[in-house]
Amino acid sequence: MRQLRMLGLASLLLASCRSVADNPLDNGPVGRGLLSVSTEPPAGAKTWVCPKWRVGDSFSMVRGEHMRGTFSVRAIQDGTYVVDMGNGRLVHRDKDFGTLGEWRADTGVAQRVMSPVDSRYHWPLWVGKRWQCEFVDRVRGGQPVLMNASYEVEALDRVEVIAGSYDALRIRRTLRLVDGGEKFLTRTQMIWYAPDPGIEVRQLLSDTMIELAEFVGQK
């Protein structure tokens, strides 16, 4: 077991044997998925391929310098990562780390589903790469909403965290409500993804910084 300590961030991610398709929230409208993507990196550009997580990998995150939570990869089912959030909720990410939704850990009942997926990453990555996706965000008890998310790898930053310094790709995520007019303000999120060790080490959500406090990876 290798252990990396750092003050960066991770994100989210079902300890139920049910699949996404087994849940009632999966029945409904579906977005168009990936809409556009940069096809080729510039000549000579460095690229980064998709990492792999293992069952048992765990992430300790600190939000706003005070709130700490630990998340762990509980299972890999049909190429889907099942991540225990430690609060009774489980998140699914696909093999490319796109966000599929959130379920209750005790019952396996879907609480939120992204259809077909919020494509948080598109591999390989390089500085300047852009992609855009469309998905329906369905929350239990709420109305489905059609969302458009665009991503851009802005730069490779040197990020200072508790464990030291890491090279991390700064990715800007812009979220818009399709046909929402002026009622829905465009939302922007910053993500810092570190190719080594292959996780997000920092996020900026609205005005709150989230950073990774500890990562324990399985060999």
One-letter amino acid at 23 equals: N
- Cβ proximity of 38 and 130 under 8 Å: yes
β-pair partners for 212: 8, 61
Q: Is the pTM of this model over 0.85?
A: no
Say what the pLDDT of residue 139 is. Answer: 94
Whether residue 192 has pLDDT greater than 50: yes
Say what the pLDDT of residue 25 is. Answer: 67
Question: What is the C-alpha end-to-end distance of the chain, expressed in Å?
Answer: 6
Phi-psi region of 207 (alpha: psi -120 to 50; beta: other; left: phi over 0): alpha
Give the HSE-up count for residue 114: Cα atoms under 13 Å, Cβ half-sphere: 23
pLDDT band for 26, please (50, 70, 90 cuts): low
Say what the pLDDT of residue 66 is. Answer: 85
For residues 15 and 215, the model is more confident at 215
The architecture of the domain spanning 2-217 is Beta Barrel (2.40)
The set of residues, in sequence order, having a beta carbon less than 8 Å from that of 215 and lying 6+ positions away, is 3, 4, 5, 6, 10, 57, 58, 59, 60, 197, 199
Q: How far apart are CA 159 and CA 165, in angstroms?
A: 5
CA angle 166-168-172, nearest 5°?
150
Q: What is the pLDDT of residues 148-170, one digit of tens each?
A: 999 999 999 999 877 678 999 99
Q: What is the pLDDT of residues 110-128, one digit of tens each?
A: 999 999 999 999 999 999 9
Say what the pLDDT of residue 17 is. Answer: 32
Strand-pair category, 80-84 with 89-93: antiparallel
What does the domain layout of the chain look like in residue ranges? Answer: 2-217
Whether residue 102 has pLDDT greater than 70: yes
**pLDDT above 70 covers what percent of the chain?**
86
Say what the pLDDT of residue 104 is. Answer: 95
The mean per-residue pLDDT over the stretch 77-81 comes to 94
Query: In the chain, where do the E strands start and end?
Result: 2-8, 33-37, 58-63, 67-77, 80-84, 89-93, 99-104, 110-118, 130-139, 145-161, 164-177, 187-194, 199-205, 208-217
One-letter amino acid at 141 equals: G
Whether residue 16 has pLDDT greater than 70: no
The mean per-residue pLDDT over the stretch 183-212 comes to 87
Widest pairwise Cα distance in the chain? 50
Q: What is the pLDDT of residues 125-151, one digit of tens each?
A: 999 999 999 999 999 988 899 999 999
**pLDDT above 90 covers what percent of the chain?**
63
- Cβ proximity of 127 and 156 under 8 Å: yes
